[in-house]
Every structure is written in structure tokens, then in C-alpha cells.
Structure 1
Amino acid sequence: MKTAPELAGWDCHVHVFDADAPVLAGHYRPPTRTLAEIESRAAAAGVGHLVLVQPSVYGSDNGLMLQALRAGQGHHRGVAVVAAEVSDAELDALHAAGVRGIRFNQVSPVGASSDPAALLHRLAPRLQERGWHVQWYLHAAGLPALLPLQRQTGLVFVLDHLAGIAADTPTDAPAWSALAALAAGGAWLKLSGWYRLQAQAPYRALHAPLQRAAGLFGRQLLWGSDWPHTSLGQAPDLPYDATWQPVHDALDPTLAQALRCEHPWRLYR
């Protein structure tokens, strides 16, 4: 089997879990899902680089993700969740392990920050010093609120899971104009989380939103499998290739190839 450096593809949204790790109260308790497991699945699809995203269930305890990043020996990158009181030493340790951004999760019940704007303004200078981006998981209705934060902080924003644009989102919804403005301001969009968007495999209902979003973001598109497909209900058991299929089917082949193999280097290197 080829080694990770020889596998050009990137999967920009995965999680690792340990069933024995402490979790925040009131949330799900995930089964163990290891780095070795996702590396094997990804390699079979030509993917050698992963972006490990801190799950909401662990809060700002990034220990498990850091352990996996170090085991990956520099092949992978991470997106952390940090507390307001995070020290410079902690941020430097995260950076050394491969972390390149922080995440605000405004959807999961224990992941949401009560005042993400205040926390972001507090952290912004230190994020800028390290060249980090800010990843947002939110409902599409929340997109307009990101526009002033993008302007005020000058930070790169990355929008999770098609920015919450669901299969049934009207074509004239305000979310689309906000998404266009965010794209014009330098934001990135992550094509992922299909099962969160009121669509069923093979996700043909998302082809039109995918094509419209691709027209807005162009070279600032990423893809993520969202493995192992966590959810508050029963997580779907999706074949790894099924998460790539909508991108393959909906987008121009050249763009699809670029967003899996070329675009991520610009954001995560």
C-alpha cells in the first residue's frame, strides 16, 4: 500500500474517538473510532492526509486529537476547540502538533458558545499571529451574523457542512446572499455532512446547491467525509466512497480533483 505522502488526496473533516475518554454531560457517548481505522479507509480511496476536527463531545480537551496528530507523524492537520483562557504555550503546542484553526460549533447542544463573537475578538490577535483560520458549524440562518465578524477580525473563515444549506433551502433564502458575501470576503466552504442536510444517499437533492456553492467559492472549496458520521440520533453507516460521490457527480471533474488534492495545501500547510 502507498504511504501517506504518496497519497495526494485530503479528507478535511474527520473525528477520532475513545469510548473510555470523558465526555461532556448531556451529550452522546461515542464508541471508539481510531486514527488507524480512518487512515485505512482513506488510503483505499487515494487519501493520505486528514484534518482531525475536535468533536463537541470533548469540549476544549483536545488531548485525544493531539495524540492522533502526533501518531500521524506530520501527515495530518487539526482544528481545535479552545477556551477563552487558553495560554500562548497551549496554542504553540497545538500548532506544533499540526493544528491550524479553531472551531465554533453553534449546533451541537454542548458545543455552542454563548458569545462566540466576544470569544473570537479576544482570540483574534493570537490566531492571526499563528496564521490560523476559524471554522464554523452553524445553521444557514446564522450566516449573516458572520459577516461583521469576518470584516472586523480579518481572519479566514471556513464554513462546515455546506454552510448548513440543506436540500430544501429556498433559492432566494437570505443565506445565499450571506454566503456570497462571505465567499467574496475570502471564506472557504467545506463540502461535507450530507446526512445533516435533509438529504438521503446518494444525495442527488444536493447537486444544485453544490453547483451553486462551487460557483461562489471556486478555489476555496474543500471536501470532508465527516467520518464516522456522528449525530444525536443513529449515525448512518455510510461507505467511505459514498461521501465523495455527490462531489464527483455534481461538479466539474477538474474542480472535483483540485478540491481534494490541491486546495487543502493552501489552507492547511
Structure 2
Amino acid sequence: MNSSSTSIPTGWDCHVHVFDPAHPSQAGHYRPVLRDLPEIERTAAALGVGHLVLVQPSVYGTDNSLILRALARDPGRHRGIAVLGTDVSDTELDTMHRLGVRGVRFNLVSPVGNGPESFRLLAPRLKARGWHVQWYAKADQLAAIADLHEGSGLTAVLDHLAGMHLDISASDPSWSALQRLAAQGAWVKLSGWYRLHSVAPYKSLHDPIRRVAQLMDERLVWGSDWPHTAFDHDALPPYESVWQPVVQALGESRAAAVRTASALLYA
């Protein structure tokens, strides 16, 4: 990973968003306020994080220009996950790849998300570029995602602990679906604790985190979900508070490995 600076911390945060209220947005479940790349770079650096994965927010639809401009500020430092329409050109895809995009997000939760029909149409072009597919989905949608990925040659990356929230029992079929995805080579983001029916300091999620980690082996990454659109913009949780559940559930050594694995997934 090349960068213009030699003092950048080595850690990775694999799920952040950047917002500009002046940028055209779609109607959705939140209204963006200014949260730009320099702000999250400063915030993350205090935790030893110098590399970010900028995930296209649902409110901006398929207009990825905001994250592409952010990636272009320091070429090679960060990575991006785009949201695409099926009419995207090869030239646009190649430009995104050059700037650091390495995957496409499919959102089955947001009212302005995209879904399986786009996946089928885009899959061959994503595979040709070595990109992965990031899913924001509920646990009961994992089986359908496994069906889509079967034989596709595309790696699935599952947001927010794959949706395995506290109300899911140990015998729920979602665990079998997640095991099937693990066998296909899927990854899971350890992120979005407050989206999983838990509250800070998220100790109630330690057992689900450990079970997911056992299924996924080394295919885990961490994301802060900054700037936490589930919260009021002036009441964000402390940045370190969403990293601590990983350390507490998995231990220092395994948590450190999660931060290292990110460089492999986003190479």
C-alpha cells in the first residue's frame, strides 16, 4: 500500500462513510451532515488506524463521486466500496479500480438499496476485476445470498456480524446459512454492534462474535461504522468503544490478526 506519507498508522478500519450535505442525496432514513475524510482520518489515527475503507452510503445511490474524490486525495492509501447501476461502463469501473475501489455493496435493508437482480447482471464484470461483493442484509437473508454466490466466483463480505443479532437463537437456521457462506470463502465485518439489538459496551455480543469468528477462521475484518448514522450527529459513540468488543471477545492477539487481515481482502 503506497502513500505520500511515511507516518501513516498501519491499522485498518474497513467500514466508514463520508458525507457532504451539499452533495445530492436520495430520500432515506437519515439526512447527511458534513463528515469528511480528514475528520475520520484524525479520529482513526488516535487508535493506530491509518487505512480506511470508504463504503458508499445508500443515500447517495449509484453516484459514487464523493468517495472517489476522497480516494483521489491520497492515492493508494484507502480503499472504496461502490454502489453500481447495471448500466455502469467498463471505463467507469476501470477508473474506480485505479482509485482504490475493490468491491460493490448490495443493500437489502435500506429503502433505497439494491439487490439480487443487479448482482446477477454485474457479477461477471466484478469477477473479471477481482472485486468482492459486500452485503448489508438480515440474518434470514443469508441463505439467499449463499444461493446467489454458489458458483459465481465472487467473494461475499457480510456487514455487521452478518446480521447475527442477539435475538437469534443458537439453533436458528441462519447459523447454518452462515456456515455455508463460510465454506464458500465469505468474510464477515465485525461492526455495527448497535444494529444488533445490543447497547454499549456490547458485552452481550461477545458470544455471537466468538461463534462467528470460529466459523470464519481468519476471514474477519473490523469496521467502526463511523459516523454512526443510527445516532444523532452530535452524540456519536467514542471511536475506540466500537473496537473494544473485538478485543474483549477475541483477545488481543486474535484482534490484532483481524486488523492485519484487512490488507489481504482489500489488496
Q: Does 1:124 align with 2:126?
A: no
- Could you tell me which residue of structure 2 aligns to residue 28 of structure 1? 30
- Could you tell me which residue of structure 2 aligns to residue 75 of structure 1? 77
Q: Which letter does structure 1 place at the counterpart of 2:265?
A: L
Q: Aligned to 1:82, what secondary structure does the other structure show?
A: coil
- Could you tell me which residue of structure 1 aligns to residue 112 of structure 2? 110
Conserved? CA contact 2:12–2:52, under 8 Å? yes
Q: Alignment identity in percent? A: 56
Q: Which letter does structure 1 place at the counterpart of 2:111?
A: P
CA distance in 1, matches of 2:6, 2:128: 29
- Select which of 65, 68, 84 maps to 2:67: 65
Once the two structures are TM-superposed, the CA of residue 6 in structure 1 deviates from its matched residue by: 4.2
* Runs of at least 5 residues in structure 2 that lack an aligned partner in the other structure: none
* Runs of at least 5 residues in structure 1 that lack an aligned partner in the other structure: none
CA distance in 2, matches of 1:220, 1:241: 22
* CA RMSD across the alignment: 1.3
Per-residue CA deviation, residues 36-87 of structure 1 (Å, 9 max, x unaligned), is: 0000011110001000000000000001000111113321000000001111
CA distance in 1, matches of 2:101, 2:6: 18
TM-score (norm 2): 0.95
Once the two structures are TM-superposed, the CA of residue 5 in structure 1 deviates from its matched residue by: 5.9
Per-residue CA deviation, residues 212-255 of structure 1 (Å, 9 max, x unaligned), is: 00001111000000000013x74651000001010010003221
CA distance in 2, matches of 1:118, 1:168: 29
Conserved? CA contact 1:52–1:77, under 8 Å? yes
CA distance in 2, matches of 1:4, 1:241: 24
What pairs with 1:251-266 in structure 2 (closer than 5 Å)?
251-260=250-259, 262-266=260-264
Per-residue CA deviation, residues 173-222 of structure 1 (Å, 9 max, x unaligned), is: 11111001101110000000011111000000100000000001111000
Conserved? CA contact 1:4–1:49, under 8 Å? no
Conserved? CA contact 2:28–2:59, under 8 Å? no
CA distance in 2, matches of 1:120, 1:168: 29
Q: How many residues align?
A: 262
CA distance in 2, matches of 1:30, 1:120: 27
CA distance in 2, matches of 1:228, 1:191: 16
Once the two structures are TM-superposed, the CA of residue 4 in structure 1 deviates from its matched residue by: 6.6
